[in-house]
A and B are shown apart, each in its own frame.
Chain A
Amino acid sequence: MEKVYFSAQKMCVGYEGKPLIKEINIDIKRGEILTLIGPNGAGKSTILKSIARQLSLIGGAVYLDGKNTALMGRDELAKKMSVVFTDKIKTEMMTCEDVVATGRYPYTGKFGILSKDDFGVVEEAMELVHVTEIKNQDFTKISDGQKQRVMLARAICQEPEIILLDEPTSFLDVKYKLEFLSVLMEMRKRMGLTVIMSLHELELAARVSDKVMCVKGEYIDKCGPPEEIFQEDYLIRLFDISPRLWQEEMCRSVISSVCRKY
């Protein structure tokens, strides 16, 4: 268990050959949760998309269990890594169950017909994130929060070893935010799921992460355990909170509540 499961070495990411963030190094063990935080537009999504091979790396390499992902087959990677991105998806006449079931794709045969076992996994995934009661509703007719949970169920039923989540809680209310995190904790305990996600909610990031990576500017600003990151003076610098804003009682109390744990 002490072995590094996911590692990125000197990864350089960006669009169309133009580097955005350079020299990203990540090492996490199986079952750990890494959270990316940082200001809007810093490139958190770009990093996640590059790890998922949606964007080609400009430099460096990503390893899963010691194996370079660039050399993995599509199917092989699909069985190990699943994603929930922020892209809005348009479906046509698909129930929520149909959407979740697409996660079984790497495991089904030539025509993608699901077996009884596949349906069992789909059922289980839906129960885990509490979407069973809406499974027969059309995906286009449910709320954004429900969609987010359906997409999580979809990613779970892909039975990954590592899951990438881009702002997975942005549309969820408090109850589902907490439930979402408890699902993640449950899955890491049960099957050693490794998680890399971006979060805007610092208080959540502080509670669940094993490691936090701060994305800002051309390089990774800082990476370490949450108690190192969530220090008042550092957060002020990371998010460019102006002295005038800091004067306000409300602002101080929000930041300090995030940092109180440490």
Chain B
Amino acid sequence: MKQRDRKKTRYILSLGLLLTGSLIFFLCNVGIGSVSISFRELAGCFTGAETDSTVRNIVMDLRMPRALAAMILGGALALSGYLLQTFFHNPIAGPFVLGISSGAKLVVALVMVFLLGRAVKISSFALILAAFAGAMLSMGFVLLLSGKVNNMSMLIISGVMIGYICSAVTDFVVTFADDADIVNLHNWSKGSFSGISWSNVRVMAAVVFVTFVVIFFLSKPISAYELGEAYAGNLGVNVRLLRGLLVVLSSILSACIVAFAGPVSFVGVAVPHLVKSLFGTAKPVLMIPACFLGGGAFCLFCDLIARTMFAPTELSISTVTAVFGAPVVLWVMAGRRKERA
């Protein structure tokens, strides 16, 4: 009984830590930047007391949507990574590593170039759809290959190769696009949270929220699935349906990120592991909200660095997430070796 209470305390403390972390990073993101804004001015913007319209514009129209996007998309990314790791029983699976992000990127780039060339404005929703199509395409390839090679490292290698192929084609498309498109595409194809509008935020919040709720209600079958398909089936899980749902839901989440921020690396792999170590468990009912919060906090932190480290030059978000995320992946792989011995 005591052991169980101790665990419960740890869960609550960890959740509290993630919540406060997200909040602090969120405030930092809104407050810190090339124009410094005092805490009082910040509070004024939220309560409507701030009268300086420049300050209000910077906070409410630039930094707020960007910070919200970093939080929502970061959460989505971490959650998508968690689902893929569950699906493949592979601790280093993730939307970027498996080439799903790159597939989404390719289709979005094609759609953008095609439509922008005809001066058609693309809605956020259409972008997500395009990214989803691309994500499913890559996922299809990965699944096809993973059926043939039932091996953890081969799966990752196939994913990385698919990623390279998609990136190469994307680069090709970008190179031959019109000048005006290139500026847009170039920033986006490297991954960035800049230039996100409130209407973008509304769409992504709606899509991610609905997906999150569905995933949360799947936490019970996911927990059974962690023991492998045979036991999940025996416990009464409709394994085929669950597998299908995992693929679709993780692709929706990856698509959302790519549509708005381009490909962002390593968050999907690193955050679930950090969160699992923090909680000392992998129970889906806890991990699903925790990964979401953790991913949000992680991306807020990385975006803060990307914006401010070498201001006014902005780093691409993947540059920062890779610096903090890649070592985690190495750590995970080293840890697994030990376990098997």
**A residues bordering B, Cβ < 8 Å?**
49, 52-54, 73-75, 77-79, 81-83, 85, 87, 89-94, 98-99, 102-103, 105-106, 108, 110-113, 136, 140-141, 158
Contact = CB atoms under 8 A, between A and B. Distances in A.
Contact of B234 (A73, A81, A91, A141): A81
A75 B234 CA distance: 9
B308 interface: no
B220 interface: yes
Given A52-B234, A53-B233, A141-B339, A90 B228 contact: yes
B3 A136 contact: yes
Interface stretch (B120-128, B163-171, B201-209, B279-287): B279-287
Interface of B: 3, 89, 91, 217, 219-220, 223-224, 226-228, 230-231, 233-238, 276, 280-283, 285, 339
Contacts of A90: 89, 228
B280 A105 contact: no
Nearest to A49: B230
Nearest to A97: B3
A105 B236 CA distance: 8
A91 B285 contact: no
25 contacts: A52-B233, A54-B230, A54-B234, A73-B236, A74-B236, A77-B236, A83-B230, A85-B230, A87-B228, A89-B228, A89-B231, A90-B228, A91-B226, A91-B227, A92-B282, A93-B276, A93-B280, A94-B281, A94-B282, A102-B223, A102-B231, A108-B220, A111-B219, A112-B220, A112-B223
A93 B282 contact: yes
A78 B235 contact: yes
B220 A78 contact: no
Contacts of B231: 83, 85, 87, 89, 102
A141 B233 CA distance: 25
B228 A105 contact: no
A112 B236 contact: no
B219 A105 contact: no
B234 A112 contact: no
A91 B91 CA distance: 11
A3 B281 CA distance: 46
A94 B223 CA distance: 11
Given A54-B230, A85-B230, A93-B276, A102 B235 contact: yes
Given A89-B228, A93-B282, A111-B220, A106 B276 contact: no
Nearest to B277: A93
Contacts of B227: 89, 91, 99, 102
A92 B282 CA distance: 6
A209 to B, nearest CB: 23
B238 A74 contact: yes
Nearest to B91: A92
Nearest to A105: B235
Contacts of B276: 92-93
Contacts of B230: 49, 54, 83, 85, 87
Closest 10 pairs (CB-CB, A-B): A78-B236, A112-B220, A74-B236, A105-B235, A92-B282, A93-B282, A75-B236, A83-B234, A89-B228, A106-B236
A53 B232 CA distance: 12
Contacts of B281: 93-94, 98
Contact of B285 (A81, A106, A111, A141): A111
B235 A106 contact: yes
Given A54-B230, A89-B231, A92-B226, A110 B217 contact: yes
A231 B279 CA distance: 58
Given A140-B339, A158-B235, 16 more contacts: A49-B230, A54-B234, A73-B236, A74-B236, A77-B236, A83-B230, A83-B234, A85-B230, A90-B228, A93-B281, A94-B281, A98-B283, A105-B220, A110-B217, A111-B285, A141-B339
A71 to B, nearest CB: 15
B305 to A, nearest CB: 29
Contact of B220 (A87, A110, A140): A110
Contacts of A106: 235-236
A194 to B, nearest CB: 16
A85 B223 CA distance: 18
Contacts of B235: 78, 102-103, 105-106, 158
A157 to B, nearest CB: 11
Nearest to A160: B234
A158 B285 CA distance: 21
A54 B223 CA distance: 19
Nearest to A138: B339
Contacts of B237: 74, 105
Nearest to B280: A93
Contacts of A92: 91, 226, 276, 282
A53 B223 CA distance: 20
A78 B234 contact: yes
Contacts of A140: 339
A213 B172 CA distance: 65
Given A90-B89, A93-B276, A102-B227, A112 B285 contact: yes
Contacts of B226: 91-92, 94
A94 B285 CA distance: 14
A49 B276 CA distance: 33
